[in-house]
Amino acid sequence: MKFWQKAFVLTLLLFVLAFDTGIFLLADYSYKSSLQNYRERSFGEHYFIASSFSTDLSAILKREGDQTIAIQSLFTSYDSYYKKQNVTLALLQNRKLLFGSLPQSVVESQKLQSLDGERRSLIQNIEDKKYLLVSGTLPEPLQYTLIYAYDLSEVMQSQAKLTQFLIGVSAVITSLLAFSLFLIFKKLTRPINELQKATARITTGEYGNRVPVYGRDEIAELAKSFNLMAGEVEAKIEELRLSAEQKQQFIDNLAHELRTPLTTIKGYAQYLQQVNLTDDERIESLNFILSDVNRIQAMASKLLDLALTRSGAIEFQEIQVSSLFERVSEAMKMRLNQNALKIATQSQLNTIWGDAFLLESLLCNLVDNAIKASPFGSTIWLSGLDENHGVIEVRDEGKGMSADEALHVTQAFYRVDKARTREAGGTGLGLALCQQIAKRHKASLEILSDLGQGTRIRLCFTTSSQLDDNTITSTNYYEDVTLQNNLEVDS
Amino acid sequence: MASILIVEDDKPINELIARNLKLVGHICEQIYDGLQAVILANTKVFDLIVLDVMLPGLDGFEVIERISPTPVIFLTAKDGIGDRINGLNMGADDYIVKPFDTLELLARVEAVLRRTMKGTHTFTADDTTVDLNGRKVMVCGSVIDMTPREFDLLEVLICNRNIALSREKLLELAWGYDFMGDTRTVDAHIQKLRKKLGWENRIKTVYKLGYRLEG
Q: How far apart are CA A187 and CA A184, in angstroms?
A: 5
First and final CA of chain B: distance in angstroms? 13
Asked if the Cβ–Cβ distance from A419 to B32 is below 8 Å, we say: yes
Give me the pLDDT at residue B84, please: 77
Backbone angles phi, psi at A167, to 5 degrees: -60, -40
In sequence order, what are the residues at sequence separation of 6 or more whose Cβ sits closer than 8 angstroms to the Cβ of residue A419?
B9, B11, B32, B56
**How many folded domains does chain B comprise?**
2
Pairing of strands B27-31, B3-7: parallel
Q: How far apart are CA A312 and CA A310, in angstroms?
A: 6
Task: Identify the burial level of B145 via C-beta atoms within 10 angstroms of its C-beta, where 0-12 means exposed, 13-18 middle and 19 or more buried.
Answer: exposed
- Say yes or no: B7 and B107 in one domain: yes
- Say yes or no: B17 and B91 in one domain: yes
* Centroid of chain to Cα A122: 69
- Say yes or no: B56 and B141 in one domain: no
Among B82, B98, B116, the domain boundary falls at B116
Percentages helix, strand, coil for chain A, rounded to the nearest 5?
Answer: 60, 15, 25
- Say yes or no: B190 and B108 in one domain: no
Q: How far apart are CA A181 and CA A187, in angstroms?
A: 10
- Say yes or no: B111 and B131 in one domain: no
Cis peptide, bond prior to residue B99, ω within 30 of zero: yes
Position B161: which residue type?
Answer: R
Give me the pLDDT at residue B15, please: 93
In sequence order, what are the residues at sequence separation of 6 or more whose Cβ sits closer than 8 angstroms to the Cβ of residue A231?
A210
Of A378, A326, A391, nearest to A352 by C-alpha is: A391
Q: How far apart are CA A476 and CA A348, in angstroms?
A: 9
Q: How far apart are CA A80 and CA A101, in angstroms?
A: 11
Distance from CA of B143 to the nearest CA of A (A): 31
Tell me the CATH number of domain A313-490, given options 3.40.50.1370, 2.130.10.10, 3.30.565.10, 3.40.1350.10. 3.30.565.10
CB contact B165 to A (< 8 Å):
yes
Among B85, B116, B147, the domain boundary falls at B116
Q: In this structure, are residues A467 and A449 in contact, taking their beta carbons and an 8 Å threshold?
A: no
CB contact A294 to B (< 8 Å):
no
**CA gyration radius, chain B:** 19
pLDDT digits (tens, 9 = 90+) for A467-487: 554 444 443 333 333 333 433
CB contact A255 to B (< 8 Å):
yes
Asked if the Cβ–Cβ distance from B162 to A259 is below 8 Å, we say: no
Q: How far apart are CA B50 and CA A193, in angstroms?
A: 61
Q: What is the DSSP letter of A332?
A: T
Domains in chain A: boundaries: 3-161, 211-299, 313-490
Give me the pLDDT at residue A486, please: 39
Asked if the Cβ–Cβ distance from A264 to B162 is below 8 Å, we say: no
CB contact A291 to B (< 8 Å):
yes
Residues 421 through 440 of chain A touching chain B, CB cutoff 8 Å: 422
- Say yes or no: B15 and B104 in one domain: yes
Pairing of strands A144-151, A317-320: unpaired
Asked if the Cβ–Cβ distance from B101 to A266 is below 8 Å, we say: yes
Distance from CA of A2 to the nearest CA of B (A): 48
Q: How far apart are CA A308 and CA A302, in angstroms?
A: 10
Position A347: which residue type?
Answer: S
Whole-prediction pTM = 0.60
* Segments of chain A with pLDDT less than 50: 469-491
- Say yes or no: B98 and B151 in one domain: no
Asked if the Cβ–Cβ distance from A274 to B163 is below 8 Å, we say: yes
Give me the pLDDT at residue A491, please: 35
Fold of A3-161: Beta-Lactamase (3.30.450)
Which positions in chain B touch A271 (Cβ < 8 Å)? Answer: 16, 19-20, 102
Q: How far apart are CA A408 and CA A410, in angstroms?
A: 6
In sequence order, what are the residues at sequence separation of 6 or more whose Cβ sits closer than 8 angstroms to the Cβ of residue A128?
none
Q: How far apart are CA A196 and CA B213, in angstroms?
A: 77
Of B25, B146, B163, nearest to B104 by C-alpha is: B163
Q: In this structure, are residues A410 and A473 in contact, taking their beta carbons and an 8 Å threshold?
A: no
pLDDT digits (tens, 9 = 90+) for B129-167: 888 888 888 888 888 888 988 999 998 998 888 899 999
pLDDT digits (tens, 9 = 90+) for B3-62: 999 999 888 999 999 999 998 889 999 999 889 999 999 999 999 999 988 888 888 888
CATH number at residue B182: 1.10.10.10
pLDDT digits (tens, 9 = 90+) for A363-383: 988 898 888 888 888 889 899
Residue of A255, A259, A418 lying closest to B9 (CB–CB): A418
Quickly list DSSP for B131-186: ETTTTEEEETTEEPP--HHHHHHHHHHHHTTTS-EEHHHHIIIII-TT----HHHH
Average pLDDT over residues B114-129: 79
- Say yes or no: B106 and B129 in one domain: no
- Residue of chain B whose alpha carbon sits nearest to that of A415: B56
Among B116, B133, B167, the domain boundary falls at B116
Quickly list DSSP for A7-28: HHHHHHHHHHHHHHHHHHHHHH
Asked if the Cβ–Cβ distance from B23 to A275 is below 8 Å, we say: yes
Q: Dihedral through CA A123, CA A126, CA A131, CA A137, nearest 10?
A: -80
Share of residues in chain B with pLDDT > 90 (%): 29
- Say yes or no: B109 and B87 in one domain: yes
Residue of A256, A271, A274 lying closest to B16 (CB–CB): A271
In sequence order, what are the residues at sequence separation of 6 or more whose Cβ sits closer than 8 angstroms to the Cβ of residue B119?
none
The residue range of the domain holding B60 is 3-116
Element (H, E) at B36: helix B34-43
CB contact B20 to A (< 8 Å):
yes
Position A482: which residue type?
Answer: T
CB contact A260 to B (< 8 Å):
yes
Report chain B's mean pLDDT, rounded to a whole number: 87
In sequence order, what are the residues at sequence separation of 6 or more whose Cβ sits closer than 8 angstroms to the Cβ of residue A251?
none
Q: In this structure, are residues A321 and A351 in contact, taking their beta carbons and an 8 Å threshold?
A: yes
Domain A211-299 = CATH 1.10.287:
yes
Give me the pLDDT at residue A40, please: 92
